[in-house]
Structure 1
C-alpha cells in the first residue's frame, strides 16, 4: 500500500480488533465491527488490510457514493453480485424479491424484508464453503435500504461464519449494532515514522515534526501526502521559515497528479466508473463501447493506480478519487457518461436514473420511466429515494399540471421518509407554482397539513382540512372522501368527539356511488367503525360485516391492496363488534395477500389487527409471534408508530405472563404517541402497565392507571376499549384493592355498556364482578354461574379463567372444596396454556388450601427452560417445517435454526424431529 493512501502506522489496536473479528468468524461466531473517522484517517487502509488478513475468506464489498445515496439497493447490488451462482439455493420468495429488487424481473412490488433475508441467506450459503467477510466503505453514503439489509444481517450472524466490517464518517452507524470505534489521530511518534517512510528514511527535525503533527492533526493521509509533496517545505519549516502547510490541498494534489497523467480515453473511462451506480464489469464495458472507447482505457486507469478491478466490479483505489473525478467533470461529460450507462444498464430503474441525469431538458419518456421507478421504490419502503425520483421526474415532465402532481407525490414520499418541514414545503411550493387544476392545488395544500399533524393545533388543522374539503367536494369525490377519512381518523386519534361527529356527518353526505371501489370501501369502513367506537346511535353494524364480505371478495380476486386506506379501521371494527371468527379469517386472508404482493405496509396493518384478535381469543403465543414479525416489518418500513404499538401489545402479554414489563419500551411508546399526536397510544401503554401491575399483585397501581384511561376515554367520547377488555380489569383492580365504592362505580358503567351495546365480553363479565362484591353467598354463586353460562359465547378465555378463579376462591371459603377444585383446575389449565404463570400460581395456592396438592402442569419445567425463540423454532419444526422453511419464517439462518433446534432437543431430552413432534404435541395438549 503506497503512502498516498495512508500507511498503517499507529493502528496496531485497530488491526488487533480486525484480527479478532476474523478469528471469531472462522469459529462460527460472526459479528460486526465499524470504524469511524474523518476523511484520510485511515479507514480505507484498514479495510484494505482486512482484505489481506482475510485471505481464507470470501470477501465482498461495497462503497457508498454521495450522489447515489438515494438509489435503493445500490450498495446491496455490489454485495450480492459475486453470489449470482447461489441464487438457486434461496427460498422461492427470497429469490423472486431479490431479483425484482435488482431489476432482473418485472416486479410491481417488492417486499424489502424478503430482500434483506435473501442477502443474509446468500452470505450464509457462501459461508458453507469458507468464511465470508463483508466490507462496507463510506457507510454514511450507502443507501438506506442497503444499510438496513446490512443491519438485518449483522443482528443475525452471531452463530455464523460471517463478519461485517464497515467504515463511516462521523454521524452514521448501523442501528442496533455495536457503537463504532473512533479512529484516533496519530501521535507525534507515529507521524514521524510515517513521514520518514515518505522521505526515504530521513528523519524530520523536531521543529518540522511538531509543525507537521500540528498542521495534519494526526491525519494519516494528510501526513503522507504532506511528506511526499512538501518535503522541502518541511525542511525549510524546520529551519524556521514560517510558511503554512496546505494540508487539504496537498491531499487533493497527490490524487490529482494521478488523474492528470491519464489519457483522454482513460479519463473518460474513469468518469464512467465515477458516475456508474452498479459498477459491475459487464455494464461498465458496455458503456465503454457505447462511448467508442478502447478497453485499454480501463487498463490504463489500473496502471495509474486510479481504478481497481475487483471481483467483477470496478472501483477507485480510494473513495476520494471518485469524488475528485466526479467534481472535475464538466456537464456535457457527465451527461455523455450517464447516457452511455443508461443504454448499457439492464436494470430499468437504474437506467431511468442514468437517463434522467443525461437529460438536459424536459423529456416525457424519461420522466415516465423515472416516475415508474419511484413507485417501485415506495413499494420497497424506499420513501427517500422515491421522493428524489418523483422530484426529478417532475422536473423533466413537460405538462405543468402533471409535473405539479409529481411534485406532490415527491412531497408525500418525503413526508413518509421523515423529511423535515422545509423539504416537504419546498416540494409543495414547486407543485403550487405549476398546478393548473383546483384538485391539484388542494392535493398540494393537503400534503402540508398532513406534515403538521401532531405538531400544530389539531382543531385548527381540522378546520383547514374542512376548507379544502369544501373546495373539492363538487370537483373530485375521491379526494373529498380522502379528506373526510383523514379528518375523522385524526379526530379519533386526538380524542376530539365533536370533531369526530362532524366528520361522520360529512362522510354521510358523500355520494358513494360516484366513487371508486377503493374510496367507497374506505369511507364505509371508516364511517361505521368511527360510529361504533363513539357509540353513535345511527350506526348499522351490519354494514361492517357487508364491507368485510366485499373485502374478502377482493382478496380472493387478488386485487392490489395498495389503496385500501380503510382496512385498518375495518379489521379493528370487526373485533369491536365481536365478529371474531370473521375478523380472524378476514385478517389472515388480508395478511396473506399483502405478503404475497410484497406490500409491507398493509401486512403490518393486518398484523396489528391479527395480534389484537389473537389476544382476545386467548392465543397469546400466536399474538406474540405476530408482534415480533410486525416489529421487524414496521421498523424496515419506517412505520414508527406501528412499531411502538406492536411492542406495547407484546409488553402487555409479557406483563400478563410474568408481572414484569420493559418500562423503557412503554416509555418510548408513550413518547411516540405524544410526539406524533397519537393520544390513543396512551390507552395501550396504560393498559399494559395496569395489567402488569394487576398480575404482579399491585391492584391499587393497576386501578390508578386504568382510571386515567377511563377519564381520557370519557373526554374523547369513546365507548369501546381499544385494547383487551380493560374495563373488566378496572372493576377487578378496585375490588382487590379493597375500594368497593370505586369498584361499584366502574361496574355500573360496565353494566350500562353491556346493556346498551350488547357486547358479549361485558355481558359475561358483569355477573361475576357483581358476585365478588356481593355479600350474600347464595346470590353470589348464582351470579358466578350466570357468568360461566355466558362466557363460551364471549370467547374471552382469560377473563373466563379469572371468573373461575374468583368462583373457586369463594367456594373454598364457603367450605365447598370439591366444587371449588373443579373451577380452580379449569382456571389453572387455561392460565398454564396461556403461560400466565402468576395467575396459574394463584390457582395452585387455592388448590393447596383446598386440600389438593397442586403440581405444575406436566412438561411446564421443560417448556419454561426454552427461550421464546427456541419455542418458536420447536413449534415450526414440530409442525413439519424444514430448517430452511423455519429460517424463512423467522428471518434467521438455517444454521441458527439448527443451533436452536439442538438446544431444544437437549432441553426436552429428545433426539429426532419425530420425537419433537410427539413431545410438542403432548406439551401443547397439556
Structure 2
C-alpha cells in the first residue's frame, strides 16, 4: 500500500501508472500527512539536480479548474459530503492531478494509493493510518471501520469538528473488496451529514468501474493539446530537443503525456538533439510496454493473454506499424480463432469489452486506445526476461551513449557488401529463426482452420489443419496431433470417411488416450467393431474420472461411437458444467451440440431441444455459424416429433442454408431427416420416402456415414406405406448387418419392426412385432418402442382385430403424450377411434387448415358425395393416389369414415358463414 501526502506520487513512464506531465517526470517522494506538513523532493533524472516544489501539470488547466470548482466551499452546506470521480489512463496524469488538487485544497488533504495486495480492510486501515499516523486514536478508528456506519464513526473520531477535509483515493477499483464496499455504501447513504465535511476525490483508470454515489460528477482526462504537449516536452527535455525531432515526437506521442515523457527519457542524447539520425519509430513498443505495464499487469492472466492475441491479429504486416492514432482493429472471428489455436481461453473477451479495453463493433474488435493495442502486442516479462541483473530495464542503458551502436537487426538487414547479401539470400535465416518461422506458419494455418471450422466450408478447415499438422510435426508434435484431430473433426462434419482416416494417421510418438481414441475411431470407420470397442472404452473410462472439458468431450464422443448414449449424455453434461465453471464460452456450442445429439439418440427429445436451443444461443454469441446450423437441424428433428410443422420447416431451412454451401453433410442429413419425419407424421409417406431414399443410399452422394443407418427404419416405414417395398427390403438387409455390430442399442428392435412391416404373411408379421417389442425392453429408447407399438396396433386394427389393437395403441399414445410428440399422438388417437375405443379427442373444424392443398380438394369432393373414381377423373389422378391422400386426411383429422369427414366439412363451412 502506498500512502502519500498532498504531493502524491507519480513516476512518468517508469512505473507504468501514468503522469500528466510534471517538472519532475521521474517521480516525487513524500510521506503521509496533511497538506503543508509534508516535504517533497523531485528528481528530474536527466540533469541530476533536485528541486523542491509542487507538482506541475501541463495542458490540464480545464480539468484542474473543474475539480476545484466541484470542490469549492460554495458547492454545498457544511457537513454534506461530496464525491468527484477522475478517470485517466496509464500515463495521463491521474495521480498528479490528485496530488495537485490536494495541494490547492484550502483545508487538510490526504492522498492514498492502491493496495499492494488484497488484504481485507487494508484500504480502510491505510486511510485511517494517514489521518492518525500514530497513537491509540488510529487503532480505535481502525477497529471502528467496518461497514458504512463504521467508516462514518471512524472519520468523526479522527477529523477535527467543523473543518473541511479532502480525501483522495487513487486507483480505487484496485482496493480490497471489503473497503470498496464499505466506502461505496458510505457515499451512497442519502443526505449524509456530520460534524466534519469530508470531500472525496476518487480516481480510476478508464474501464475500471467506479461504484460510487449515483450522479457523482466525472472528470475525464483527455489527450493533451499540441500546446500542452509542447510545454511538457520542453520541460522534460530541458529544451534540448531539436525542432525536427520535437515535431516528430509530438506527432508520434499523439498528445499522450506519459508516452511523450518516457520516450524522451529513453532517447539517446544524440537523437534528441538531432546529431544522430533516428532509426525507426521514436515511440517504440518498449516505451508503450512500460507506460501500460501497470494496466496490463492488473488484468487477469487470461485477459492479458487474450488481449495480446487480439493485438497480434490487429498488427499490420509492415514493420513500422500503424500511423499514430490509427485504428487498431481486426475481425473478431479471426482473433478468436487465433486464440483457440494458441489455447488461449476466449471467455475473457466479454470482460475486456465491458472494461472498455476493447470495443466490439459488429464483427470487428477495435482497441479504443491504439497505444494499448501496441503495448499489449509487445513482448512482456511473461514472454522473456525483460530486466538486467541490476534490475533496470534490459533495453535501456544506464547512461545514454553519445551515439547509438548499430543494432543486430540493422546489421543483418543491411549487409556491408553485395557478396554478403548474396550469401544471406542463399543460406536463408539461421536454423532457430527457420524453426520459429515454421511454427508461426503452422499456427497461422491453425488460425485459418479454426475460422473455417467455425463459420466456413469445413473441407477448407480440414485442408488448413492437415497442412498445419505437417508443418508442426517436427517442431511442435503436441500441436500437430491436435491439428490432426481437428482435421478429422472437420472431415467428420463433411461426411468424408477417407479424409477422417487420413487425419487419424498419427505420429508414433502420440500415446495414451489420444492414441486409443484414434485407433478406436479408425476401427469403427472401417467397420471393425470388435477392434474399436476396447480402445474407445478405455477413452470413456479415462474421461469418466477426469474433469477437463476437452477430455470429457472426447470421452463423450467415444461413447457415442460405441452407442452408449447414456454415458455420452452423462459425460457431455459434466463437460458442460466444467466449461461453464471455467467460463470457456467458446467450447459451449460444441459441447451442447454433442449433448443434444446424445439426447436425440436416447429418444429424450425434450432434453435434446433444450440443449440445442442453448447451444444455438451460445453459437450465435461466439460467432460459430456451423455449430448453429447443427443446432438448427437438431431443433428441426425435435419439432418433427412434437408435430410442429412450421418449426420443422423454419429450422430445417436455416440448417440447410448454412450446411449446403459449407459442406456440412451431418447437419444437412439431420435437417432432411427432420423434414421427412414431419411428412411421414402428416400422412405424406410417398414424399417422405422420396426424401429419405438418397439419405440411406451408400456412396458419396448419400447421407452422412454416421447417420445413414440410423435413418433406415424411418425410410422402411415410409417406403412400405408408399409401395416401394423392394427398396425397403434392400435397405433392411444392409441395416441387419449394421445392427449386428452392436453399436446402437435400439437397432435390433428396429430391425425386427422393419421385418414385420415387410413380412408377406400375417403370422410372420405378428411374430416379428412380438420380437421387436421383446428387444425394446433392452433398447433404452421409449420413443422407438412407442413407434413399434403404434405400428403393431395399426396392423392389428387393419386385420380387423380391434380389441387386440387397443392395448398397444393406448400404450403408444401414453408414451407419445409423455414425450410431447403431438404429431404421433394425434395419429395414435385416430387409430384408437377407428377401433371404437373412447379417449381419442375428436378433430375440430379448424384442423382442416392443416391439410395440404391437394388433401383439401379431395376432402371437399368427398364431402360433396364423389367416389374415389370420380375424384380421380376430376383431378387427373389415379384412384390409388386418391385413396392414399384420403388415408392421410383421415389420419390428420383423426376420423375414420366419409360420414365424419362430411360432418367436419359442414362444420367448417358453418363457422366460415358465422
- Calculate the TM-score normalised by the size of structure 2: 0.50
Q: Which has the larger radius of gyration?
A: 2
Q: Which has the higher helix share?
A: 1
Q: TM-score, normalised by structure 1?
A: 0.49
Q: Which has the higher contact order (CA 8 A, sep 6+)?
A: 1
